Structures are given as structure tokens and as C-alpha cells.
Structure 1
């Protein structure tokens, strides 16, 4: 069984009824700050007794309060969980939680309402609102790991020792067996034997010290009032023994002497965090194999920000291990994260996206209607850079490295009239995403229904696509009665039809609420940039200053960037010739698009190059920034 759906109303950010579908196995909840990720975890904790932190303590902040003038806190909140995929053992154990459709789903509900100045909690199950018996609720084991974990404290010895809990689970059956036949567990027997030897042997001076204490006590308060004493290493009760054990570490898996192990307070925070999580996964793995009243039937692990203190490679390995553990053991794992590394480490179908708003909006990527081909494509390409699309407030998809480098600087030009704090893409939380090709169909399906036959949910975040018109590079024309192949150099009044297959997507994308695809007017990104205003001068100047070899190319660049030439007022055909020359030098010279874009971005940033932004780029920036 697993929690298939969670419904929340009146709790924290969730004023109106809020529903989120969860996965069997692993669910990774992503989104920006304030999107409601922690609220989902907090709502789940309302339903169960957490074996690590105990029952969730309700306070005033858990009752929803809006931000409008005159808003008051909700008088109560409700949380409901729907369980699906039950086996026969689970159906029988949770019989009183049945839905009306008989054993296919279970429902568990909790409600908190203010009563005489404090929250009053009600817990019931099923459509008939059956009372929830504690023994039945105990069959659900929930462990919650907060974002700021003190792993060293949890792993230290004592009554709440994580190590002691694990050992008690491992030895549970043996302990019951020895309890039934009246014998000691081997560990208890060994400690008793050792303590007896310490107390009775003359070799350790323990016997002499005990006699001195007893003698002094008898002299101080007299024979009739004195108490007996015994010096030993540990109590001879199994729980006390394992609670006194300490976990040590060595930095690798080498076979070393016991003296080389060190205390955990000498270990890194990240590795202690991993050891802590590993001990919990080991316990859940054991309990899921030993299903029953003592070990539970359903196991739920809630982790906020598992990336804490971990470098990227460890983050990736940890999440993949969590995914494998969930699949193998039946433990349901729900993770919230801000880490692009973690978001890229799991299949997109495991990801649930949350968007902040007056009422948070949830989108399961599995429900975005991506065809299998697109799903495989996005999974392969959802690396650390592109997984930013799951955290940004707005997106601009671009075809290549040049657009990705230059776009932030061009955006500053477009946004310079905006109020302070809203004059860059960074200020507005908008991320350029380099697709390294014309792959808008695959990625934008997350935000709009490009294929009506595969219509699904959409992430409610503004996204713009920037693409080139890409007309044919050459064409055949008749010159003096003879057909000749010439280069295509478009300009106003001399435009050509585009060959870019992404253009076919525009009609469907334009129907959507969140997505738009913006197309250059002439040819490619650099050509269209050169055709705008007097941009040829600063573009040619940047190339000229960086050109390493003297010769006809550098001489031509010097002519193109001559300040006496007013390219903004030049004839369009001449301007198109110059734009074509620049594009040829960028693509086929020693510079390349990436280096040229970097140099031009630096020149724009330091004010030595002043550009006019093409209209389609301006429109894309304004769309993604909600202007």
C-alpha cells in the first residue's frame, strides 16, 4: 500500500482544498521558496506518530492566514490521506478504514479546530468516520528527517540513540525467544559474565575499590543504614547495553585496527548525515521484511532537503539509493529539495512541481502528457543546468550557447526602465535554459499542450522560446539569363520563408496560458542582432579587437566598425551584406559563436558596446518576466 493522494484545507499556505498525487516508491517535491513543499510534509506528519520526533505539535502558524487586509486565521484545518494498492494482509488489518468501494482504497483524516484557546484534534478513518484505534495506527511507521539535522546527536549513545533503535529491531525476535524460555540474550549474558569477573577478580583492582567505598559508607552512616555497592561497566539489561554503545568511523572501508576509528564529532557533517540516513534506511528495510504488529505494515520516510552538507556526487548517489530502497522494500519515500542536482538525479515521473501563489499549484510531471520519446529525451537532458527549469519563476528556452550567454545582458537593456530590484532576469527569478538545439517540442510540453492528443497538466510558470527563422542558406536566381546559386541575405522587403520545424508548433503553443515561441525575423540569432539598429558597429568592433591575425578579415572588420558609417541609416541591402559577413566570420573564422557571445556580453556589461535588442527577443523577455 502507499499514500496515493493527500488533501489539505486550511493548513499553512493551503486555504482552499489542495490535492497532491504521490508516487508509489519515491516522490521528489521541487519548487521555489514559499511554494508549499514543507506544508505538504507537515500535513502528512499530522496524520501519523513520528518515531523520530514524536507527534507533530500544532501551533497558531499551522492555521492558514491570508495576506489581505482584514484576513483572520482559519478556525481549523483538515488533512486527509488516501491509500491505494493494498494487499490482502493490509485490507484485513485496516478493515475499518475501508472506502465505500470495498477494499480498493483507504482513507485517514485528521482535523484540528480551536477549542477554548487551544487546538483540539480529531482523527477518523473511512467514509463512515470510524474511530482510529491506536494499535491500528501503529501499523503505519513514519520517520521524519527535518532540513537541519543534528546527525551527531542522533547517533550518539543514550535512550534516543539511532544505533540502539536499529539494534533493537535486529534483535527483536531473539529477545522475544529468550524472554519466552527465560534465558538471557547472548549479549546480556556476556556483559553479566564480564561484570562478575570485574567485581570478583583481584587482577583489576575493581574489587579493592568497591571494598573501600563500602567500608567508608559503613563507617559514615553505620552498619544498619549503609547500602551495598558494586562497580561494573554497564547495566545488564539489553536496552541499557545497546544504548551505551557508540558508533565510530574510519574515512574509508580499509581493514584497519580498532584503535584507528574515531569519534563522530571528528567526522564531517555531510558524512555523519549519510550515516544517520543509512541507519534509518537499514531499520526501515528490516521492518518492511518483518511485517506485522511489532514492525508495522506500511513504512513512510519523509526527508526535507537531503542535500544538506553533501557535495553533488554524494547528493546524486543518495537519491538514487533512496529510489532503489523505495522500490525494493515498499517503503514510501517523500523528499523535498531545492537542489538542482537532486532534481536531475531521478526520472521526471518521480517529480512533483509546486508553484507559489495565493493558493499553491501542484503539477506532477508524470501528468504533463509527454509522449514516450519526449519523456526519454527530457530525462536524458535534465542535467544540473536544465533542472533549473523546475525552480525558476520564469524561463527562456534558447537554441545555443550564444543566446544563453548574451540573453542576461540583453535583458538588462529591455528591463532598464523597470523599478529597482526588477531590472535583471536574476532579480525576477527568470532562468535562460540552453537546449543545445531546436528541442522546444520536448521541453515546452511541460508548460503547454503542444500535442492535443497528449494533453496533460502544465507547470504554471511563464516560459518563452527563442528560435531562429532558418530560411534556406542559398537559392537559385537568374542573373543575365543564367541560373546561379547565391547566398540568402534577408532584409525588410526581401524576407524568406523559414525552414525551422519548430515553427509548426506556434499555433498550439500560442493557445496556451503559460508558453510562447518567439521567432527571429530574418535568419539566425547573430544575423538578426546585426540587422537591428546600428548593432553592426559594436559587433564588428568586438570581433576586430579580439581577432588574432592581421589580414583581409581584420581589415574588413575595421571597415565594418568604422564610426563614420551609420548602419542604422544605411540601405537595407548593404546592411544585410554586412550582417552576412559578420555571421560568416563568427561561424567559419577562428572565433566561434561561444567566444564571440562572451566577448560581446562583456562589452555590453562594461558599457563599451551599446546594442539595440531585436523585437522578438524583447517580446520573449517581457513574456517570461510577466511584463
Structure 2
């Protein structure tokens, strides 16, 4: 048995969301404040069945107007409720356990559901109590000279009335109700059909809804704030020794039944330590499955504190030690207490021991053990380095494995919430549940996307490409406020400085920058649309000569776009002033063929960039791409699709000496050289390798041709250009206009400015902040 799906309504950010859970492990991901914690708390509150733990703030903000409207006596106003539908997938061996949830005697299938609802027990009585409190408060209000109320004591609204600090009014006026759900009366999205009324579970007829739910699932939580510390004291520091001592008390051999241990305690310290070593052996062996201690790390030992009165019953009775080497000539091992080891291993050991503790307590309840144990693990990556994060999420199911005959009747199901891209790397797409936040003018809500649906609904070619790419890059796309897809390594290196110059507010946003290239960028469309993440694509126009060459055979990849700088051949011409500025000789006899890179201005040129052809603006002729309106370069968000804009080289005014012309570059480097033409041709910028021989004698058309040929040549190294540009003061050069315009668009979408702050003032404040940070 396992939980197949839950639907949460009107709880905090989760106005109406469906969350599908995998039968083994599900991974909750999303940007900060996207609703992951809300989902965890909702399950915690509803399965704990304690109405005292709810507050008015647990209602979605969209419910507050409805609550106040009911309190104001608006006709037909109804008090909203918070609810959770829990759908169980039940195998035949466990069908007898859910007999209370069968909607009818003719039930067939393997899915049953229960709804838990937090609702007003008597809305009319609640309204009367509020009106009485409101009348008393209004009688003690104070009006100003113009007759307007200047002071009105609480409560002013029904929300205000239910917001009392003690929570008595909410507890008195609301209760938890349980309903049986009939799966055939719900659609494929688990939304109930119009007119359907779920059957209330009455306490007068057998078990209560609370008991039914508790008999099916036990929910435990391992929270992120584990209060581990390297310090030797303090109220927040919980040493591993205490955790293991508590674990001993709950689950391992007890003092009363362990006469051997009693004799060992009386006889010798050695025998007692042997006993502790044997008792904790299985737990320490479980740690070994996660790769601990590993090469070069000390192994764990459990040693007595030599206090016979407390050794078996007190958390202070045992100590974790780390063995540093082999025993000396007297048989004594050199050891250190647990506080001398790092936080990473403390956290790993702590999590494993706590999970085993939760697991053992569930298994020990043989008489009333629920068939399902659902465990939430919050941010397991805290203090763990990359390899341990991956080993933990890979092995955690093995740690909680159920063996023997019970395996067919009992199940452990895990939910991990994380901000670690390395954990996603280990598990792939299918377990991911992506929480996407959306904000309107007044409300902030979230929705949850099941990446297994994307996995099965995407072509094998695209799916394999994306999954392998994300594994290679440890992609943080699932945690970002917005995504920037860039052409290559040069854009990725220069983007932080370009953002600081052109769109400084973006520095406060969490951007995921993916290096995708023009040939493969369109493959990200399905993933970007599925996630609905706001995206800016910065790519090259990649003009080539027209012809019958198939698109997939057009080689639009740069000669060198890698991280390692390549050195020219010994006979390669130098690029500097005078002799150093000598260009590679042109082959006048070579006739360029179809698909060959050419200047943007060549008549009839087309693009080889598949992103521009197959995504935005969806055009192939260069003339059409240059003439495209801005609206054609933006994919407007419709339903769940993403808001996407593409930025590529456009025609700009270029000045050289006394001449001005409208030109467009083919690549970032070419566009940069044209828009910074005078600056880049100065001898002080020769390390950029953009200077051409005899530039002072050339007109604008000639120098643009030379630049195109120089940048397209095999001796021009794009990464070297980017690294050299970083050496120069960014205030001296211009961000290419197509990138600046794209970044400003993204800035307005992701970090809109305060309407009360002038843009100029905002820039000054940002500069001061940068100076303070150094």
C-alpha cells in the first residue's frame, strides 16, 4: 500500500494543488517560498488530527476576503474550509484494512480515498459570537472631528476575531471532519464531478475518521534543523552520544534482560565496551552501506562513560568516539570524542540513527501497526558534501528495507524536500515534484508539477538529451526564479558583468544559466514549457549561405568554444599592431558553399540556428529574422506554458571615424566589436584580439568584413576573448544592445522596480551597495 496522490485546498500558498507521490521516493523541489514547506506542514497537521495546531494564517490569503464577507453578512457568503484528499493505492493483500473507506459493496479497483476537512462546526453560532464581539468593540470606537473612525478596537473583521493569540476562538468554532471518497466520481485530475457529495464518516458508526486514517499510515518527519554543533556545550547542541543513548533506550537490548551486560559492568570496562560494540554493531554496519567511514575517515566506536548508575539508562551513559589508528602495545586505541569530528559526518550519522529509530518504533507496534510508514526528510544535504548527498539518497531506501513475510503487507514511503541539484542528479526526472510559485497583484499561490508526466509525455530523443544534459551540468533549473539559456561559454562568462551593467536588479534574483548552443536550444522548449519558468534565450543569429544542405548537417558550432585556450601553430600570423596585426591570408580561389558562415548582410542568407528556426521567432531567412517584431520574439504565457523571450543580434548604428552605418554582427564577439568599434581597435585593447591590420585606413564596410573574417578564423579563441574582456573596466565598454534589451526585459519580469523609486536613484543605491560589499 502507498499514498498515490493528495490534493490540498486553501492551505497557505496551496490554494488547490494535486501532489502525486511515487511508491518509493518522491523529491520536492522548487524555488524558495514555492510551497514545499506548506505541503509538508499540511500533511503533518491533517495526519496529526489536532485542530488546536491550526491558525487563521493557515487559510490561503484568497480565503480571507470570503471569511470577512461571511462576517459582514454578505448574502450567500460561505465560510471557506481547508481540506486534504488522500488517495491510497491498495493491493489485494491489504484490501481488508480499508473496508471503512469502500464507497459501496460493489467496489472494484485498487484506489480508495479519504478527505480530511478543517471547517466551521456551526457557522451560524460563530457569526453570532463575532457580531456580539464586534458590537462591543464598535461601541468603544472613537471618531475624529470629521466623523471618521480614528480608533476601532479589535475585532474589526471576522479574520481579526479568529486571529486571537490564544487560538481559543478558532478551536471553539472549527473542527476536523472525515469523508469517504468514491474514485469513479472524480475525473483524471482527481477533481470531483459537479453535484458529488462525499459521505461523512460518523463516529456513531464504528471507528472515527481519525482512527481510520491513523490505522492506515504513520507519518514521521526528520526536519532540517537538526541542531548539531561543533561546540562542546550550549542548549542548541545535541551530541551524537545523546542521540545514540536515546536510540538504545527505545530499540536495543535493555538492561533488565541483558544479564551478560550486568556482569560485564561489574567485572571490567573491557567487557562492557565489547557489549556496547555488539549492541550498536548493526547500526554502525548500516552506516557502512552509505560509504562511512570511507578512506581516511576514522571509524566509530561506542565506549562507556564508566558510571554504573547511568550507563544503560541515561543519555549521558555512553559516548561516541572516533578511533584514530591501531591499538598500541597495551591494547589501547587512540580515540577522540564525537564533538571532534566534522558536521558532515555528524549529520549523516544523526539522520541514519533517527531514521532507524523511527523505522524501529513503527515495526515494534505489532498489534496496531499501520501498513504504511510515510517519512518526510527535509533538506538532507545540510552539511553533507556532494558525494555523501548522492550516496544518502541512493541508499536511504535500503536502510528502511522490510524483509521477510511482512514485506508484502508493509511499506515505507519517503518524501525528500531539497535544494540540492546533486540529489536530483542521482535520482533523475521521475521522482521530482516541482513546486512553481505564481503571484498576482494580491495573492501568492503555488502549483505542483509531476515530472514523471513530463518524462512519459516527451519524445525519447528529447527526454534522453535533457536528462543526460542535466546530469552533466548538475542543473539548478528547478530552484531558480528564472532561466537564462546562453549560446556558449563566452556568454556564460560575461553574463554576470553584463547583468551588473545593464540590469542590476537581476543580481538579487536566483537565475539558472544554462549553456545550450543554438543547435540544441530548441530541445529545452518542452522542459521550459512544462515547468512554466520565465526564460531568456541569448543566442546567435548564425547567418550562413543558402542552399540545399539539410539543417542537421549545417555545422554552426564555433571552431573553439572550450575552456582551454589553444595556441596557434608556429607559423600562424601574429595579431597585434603593425606586423602583429597581420591577418591570415584569404584564399581568393575558394568558393564558399551552401551552409558556410557568412556576414549577416549577405543577400539571401539564412540562419543555421535551430532555436531561431524551431522556437522563436520561428523564421529561417536572415532578412525575416532581422525584421521580426518584438512580439514575435516573445512566447507569451498561456495556461501553464512559460514566458520566454529570445535575444539575438539585431541591426544597430555603428560609427567609425566620420562614417555611420546600420550593421548587425553574426555572433556575440562580432556584435561586441561593432558596437565598441573605436574602443576595441585601440592598442591598449590588443589582448582582445579584435584589432585588424591598418584599421585607420579602412572604411566601415571594410573593417566590418575584416572583423567577421578574423572572428570566424580558426586562430580566434572565443574563451580567450571573454577572459581578456574581464580584465578591462566594464564601465568602458558597452553591453551589446540585443543582450542589454533582453536582460532588461527579464529584469522587469522577475524583479519589477518599486513604482515609488526612480530608476536613476535605484542605480545609485545599487552602486553604493556594491561599494560597501567591496
TM-score scaled by length of structure 1: 0.71
Query: 1:483-506 CA deviation, whole Å, 9 max, x = no partner?
Result: 944875424463511223334422
Contact 2:241 2:338 (C-alpha < 8 Å) held by counterparts = no
Rounded to whole Å, the distance in 1 between the matches of 2:67 and 2:368 is 46
Structure 2 regions of 5+ residues with no counterpart?
Answer: 71-78, 121-125, 127-167, 182-198, 202-207, 230-236, 269-306, 404-410, 439-443, 549-588, 619-633, 651-663, 753-774
2:715 equivalent among 588, 608, 611: 588
**Does 2:379 align with 1:305?**
yes
Range with bigger deviation, 503-512 or 459-468: 503-512
Q: Report the secondary structure of 2:483's partner residue.
A: strand
Rounded to whole Å, the distance in 2 between the matches of 1:165 and 1:349 is 34
CA RMSD of aligned residues (A): 4.4
Query: 1:362-411 CA deviation, whole Å, 9 max, x = no partner?
Result: 22222233322322222222248552221222212112101112233334
**Does 2:671 align with 1:529?**
yes
Contact 1:124 1:132 (C-alpha < 8 Å) held by counterparts = yes
Rounded to whole Å, the distance in 2 between the matches of 1:350 and 1:433 is 22
TM-score scaled by length of structure 2: 0.59
Query: 1:538-571 CA deviation, whole Å, 9 max, x = no partner?
Result: 3444895327xxxxx89x54644x6x98xxxx64
Match in the other structure for 1:356: 437
Range with bigger deviation, 132-141 or 389-398: 132-141
Match in the other structure for 2:483: 395
Q: Report the secondary structure of 2:737's partner residue.
A: coil
Structure 1 regions of 5+ residues with no counterpart?
Answer: 176-183, 199-231, 416-422, 449-457, 477-481, 548-552
Counterpart mapping for 1:57-456 below 5 A: 57-65=53-61, 77-98=81-102, 101-102=107-108, 104-113=110-119, 117-119=169-171, 120-127=174-181, 128-130=199-201, 131-132=208-209, 134=211, 137-151=214-228, 161=243, 164-165=246-247, 168-169=250-251, 186-187=257-258, 189-190=259-260, 233-234=308-309, 241=313, 245-250=317-322, 260-283=334-357, 292-293=366-367, 295-322=369-396, 330-357=411-438, 358-368=444-454, 369-383=457-471, 387-415=475-503, 423-435=504-516, 438-448=519-529
Compute the displacement of 1:598 (Å). Answer: 2.5
TM-aligned CA distance change 1:410 to 1:475, over 3 Å: farther
Counterpart mapping for 1:454-533 below 5 A: 458-472=530-544, 484-485=591-592, 489-492=598-601, 494=603, 496-506=605-615, 510=635, 513=638, 514=642, 515-520=644-649, 524-526=666-668, 528-530=670-672, 532=674
Rounded to whole Å, the distance in 2 between the matches of 1:289 and 1:268 is 32
1:545 equivalent among 666, 686, 698: 686
Rounded to whole Å, the distance in 1 between the matches of 2:384 and 2:728 is 37
Q: Report the secondary structure of 2:87's partner residue.
A: strand
Contact 1:141 1:296 (C-alpha < 8 Å) held by counterparts = yes
Contact 2:542 2:667 (C-alpha < 8 Å) held by counterparts = no
Query: 1:599-620 CA deviation, whole Å, 9 max, x = no partner?
Result: 2244352x23234423x76246
TM-aligned CA distance change 1:255 to 1:558, over 3 Å: farther
Rounded to whole Å, the distance in 2 between the matches of 1:59 and 1:86 is 33
Contact 2:10 2:82 (C-alpha < 8 Å) held by counterparts = yes
- Number of positions where the alignment pairs a residue of Structure 1 with one of Structure 2: 534
Contact 2:517 2:539 (C-alpha < 8 Å) held by counterparts = no
TM-aligned CA distance change 1:113 to 1:281, over 3 Å: same
Query: 1:420-452 CA deviation, whole Å, 9 max, x = no partner?
Result: xxx24323433322125632233221122xxxx
Rounded to whole Å, the distance in 1 between the matches of 2:93 and 2:256 is 31
Rounded to whole Å, the distance in 1 between the matches of 2:325 and 2:3 is 38
